[in-house]
Structure formats: structure tokens, C-alpha cells
């Protein structure tokens, strides 16, 4: 087993410079695993983590601790979608992969003009540990440094960590700890973009007879009948959702299994023709992805008293269709 457990602090993203080069060198010196894990320079001075195991390959950006790619070796296509027009760094969110929405999901709940979906996805995270187990699974532990930049948005003391396990499945655990003397409330999501062959040949199975809030219809509560099909803009918050869902993709002839824990909310989103209004997405991009987000949102927000913690977990894997 190869293991590293030191912590390495990072700051805001500058233009790739001597300091960035040293940081990249130090990360590789501390955490690289020969032939399996390496830190490399990415777009706009982002530092990427490239992972290859016997099971799969993956790419993770230290900016936002955002998983950008996960592809089992036997799969012809990536499991995740990433827009070629994505922005990297400089306070911009990356369009695709698994963005982290925290400590609020959606628009600023206080209406103070704070960034949509919080600030966790727009800052560099620090790498704390990399482990390789006997089954050739790699686990990466990262934390969001709690610095003065956040105090204008969030005055509570916290620790936010993510554990990413890359193996036969992709498993993500987002851990929030309340280090403050006061209780605070969070909403959050793993805003996962799944690659599909053709959105009109895809359906989401597992939500029949579940209630949802329809954002395209003034958040009116509705009841899902049958599977979720995609024929127009879809933006829904499913309530008390089950722990397992299935994306059935006839175009790519595969099924994506989604298993969640620590969550009773699932957000399902595809912008349809509104993709043309997004600067980091081509007009027809909506045909190639669907977001199925493991979340704590709406009435499922999490209240954490001092000393308490909460773990939101999502695990994804591919199978063939029956």
C-alpha cells in the first residue's frame, strides 16, 4: 500500500508562476503514486489530479475539488459530461463534472447577492491525503481552507472535506463539521452532470409516485407519474427521494446507477433550449447530458449544532442495459 497523509495549504489561483510550479512539484513529491496518480498543470493555471487504476481513469481539479472525468476502462465513453466551453478558475464555476454546491443550494437564501450555489466550487481546495488500497482503489481527501475570503459570505466556523474514491465505482462523500459555538443551517448538492448519448432517448427510473417542486412552474408541487422523460426544460426538486436511481440510456446502451446517503432530495435538471443562454455551453449541448443531483435542499436542509457533522454521499457506477 502507498499512503501519504500530510496536508498542503493552497491559496487563490494566480497565473501559473514560479510559486505555482513549486506547489505542483511539492504536491507530486508528497502525494504522487507512480503510474497511478499525478498532479499536472491544467487550463487557466488550475492544478489537476490525473488518476489511473486497474478499474478506471479520472481527472479531478483542485479548484472546487471538482471531479471532471470518470471512465471505467471497459466503458467506451466517460460517465461524466464536461462542456468544452467551460471556464476554469478566476471565481468562475466549471460547467460539468461534479460541482459542489455549499453552504447553500440555488440562489442566495438570504437575498444578499451572494454567489449562487455558495462558494465551495469557486476556490482552491487543499490536498490532505492520498491512499491506495489492496483492491487498487485510490482515495483522495481534500478540504476547503476556511479563510478570511469566506467571512463576507459565511461567518460560522466550519470544516468542509471531500473524500473521493476511484475504483470500480466513483464514490464521493462531502463532510461538513460545525466548529462554531452556534448552530448553522446548510443546503448543498453534488451537482453531477452525466453524459448521455441523446437526451430524448434517456429516462430516469426510480421516482415514480414521488412528489417534486417544479421550478419551471413557480415551484408548484406535483406528483411524478411513471419514469422521468426529457422532452423540454426540466428543473425539479424531488422530495423524500429514494436511495437508488437509474439513468437508462438507449443511445449509449448503458445504465448509470446512482446511490445516495445522507440525502432525501434529488434535483433533476436539463436546460433544453435555454442552453443557448449559457456562455459556457453550446446551443445543442443539452442533448448530451442530464444532471441528477444528490442534495439536501428545500425542507431537507441540514441543521448542525456545535460539534455535529453531516456526510452527504453519492456513489455512481455503469452497467449494461438488460
Which residue out of 55, 117, 123, 191 is catalytically annotated?
191
Residue 8 φ/ψ, nearest 5 degrees: -135, 120
CA distance 196 to 218: 28
Q: Which of the 8 DSSP states describes residue 43?
A: G
Q: Which three cell numbers stand for residue 285?
A: 449541448
Alpha helices in the chain (DSSP H): 18-31
**Whole-angstrom distance, CA of residue 125 vs CA of residue 63:** 6
191 is catalytic: yes
Question: Which residue among the candidates 55, 117, 293, 315 is catalytic per the annotation?
Answer: 293
Residue 293: active-site member: yes
Tell me the three cell numbers of residue 303. Answer: 441543521
119 vs 51: CA distance, rounded Å? 26
144: Cβ contacts below 8 Å, ≥ 6 apart = 65, 120, 123, 125, 126, 160, 161
Cα distances (angstroms) measured from residue 198 to each of 79, 241, 255? 14, 25, 13
Q: Rounded to the nearest 5 degrees, what angle is found at the Cα of 174, between the Cα atoms of 131 and 143?
A: 60
The helix (H) or strand (E) run that includes residue 41 is strand 37-41
Phi, then psi, of 175 in degrees rounded to 5: -115, 120
Report which DSSP code applies to 264.
-
Q: Tell me the H-state helices in 44-85.
A: none
**What sign for the dihedral angle of Cα 143, 146, 151, 152?**
negative
Give me 236's grid cell: 425539479
Q: Which of the residues are catalytic?
A: 191, 293
Amino acid at each position: 500500500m502507498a499512503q501519504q497523509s500530510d496536508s498542503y495549504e493552497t491559496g487563490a489561483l494566480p497565473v501559473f508562476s514560479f510559486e505555482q510550479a513549486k506547489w505542483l512539484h511539492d504536491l507530486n513529491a508528497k502525494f504522487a503514486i507512480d503510474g497511478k496518480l499525478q498532479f499536472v498543470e491544467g487550463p487557466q493555471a488550475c492544478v489537476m489530479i490525473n488518476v489511473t487504476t486497474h478499474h478506471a481513469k479520472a481527472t479531478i481539479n483542485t479548484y472546487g475539488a471538482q471531479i471532471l472525468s470518470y471512465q471505467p476502462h471497459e466503458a467506451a465513453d466517460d460517465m461524466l459530461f464536461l462542456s468544452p466551453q467551460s471556464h476554469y478558475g478566476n471565481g468562475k464555476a466549471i460547467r460539468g463534472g461534479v460541482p459542489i454546491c455549499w453552504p447553500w443550494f440555488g440562489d442566495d437564501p438570504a437575498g444578499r447577492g451572494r454567489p449562487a450555489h455558495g462558494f465551495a466550487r469557486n476556490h482552491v481546495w487543499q490536498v490532505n491525503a492520498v491512499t491506495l488500497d489492496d483492491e487498487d482503489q485510490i482515495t483522495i481527501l481534500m478540504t476547503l481552507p476556511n479563510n478570511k475570503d469566506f467571512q463576507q459570505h459565511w461567518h460560522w466556523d466550519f470544516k468542509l472535506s471531500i473524500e473521493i474514491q476511484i475504483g470500480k465505482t466513483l464514490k464521493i462523500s462531502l463532510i461538513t463539521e460545525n466548529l462554531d459555538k452556534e448552530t448553522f443551517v446548510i443546503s448543498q448538492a453534488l451537482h453531477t452532470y452525466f453524459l448521455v448519448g441523446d437526451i430524448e432517448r434517456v429516462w430516469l427510473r426510480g421516482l415514480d409516485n414521488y412528489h417534486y417542486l417544479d421550478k419551471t412552474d413557480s415551484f408548484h408541487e406535483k406528483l411524478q407519474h411513471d419514469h422521468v422523460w426529457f422532452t423540454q426544460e426540466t428543473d425539479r426538486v424531488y422530495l423524500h427521494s429514494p436511495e437508488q436511481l437509474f439513468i437508462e440510456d438507449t443511445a449509449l446502451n448503458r445504465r448509470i446507477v446512482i446511490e445516495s446517503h445522507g440525502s432525501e432530495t434529488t434535483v433533476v435538471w436539463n436546460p433544453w433550449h435555454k442552453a443557448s443562454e449559457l456562455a459556457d455551453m453550446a446551443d445543442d449541448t443539452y442533448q448530451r447530458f442530464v444532471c441528477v443531483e444528490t442534495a439536501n435542499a428545500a425542507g431537507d436542509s441540514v441543521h448542525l449544532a456545535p460539534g455535529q457533522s453531516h456526510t452527504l454521499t453519492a456513489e455512481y457506477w455503469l452497467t449494461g442495459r438488460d
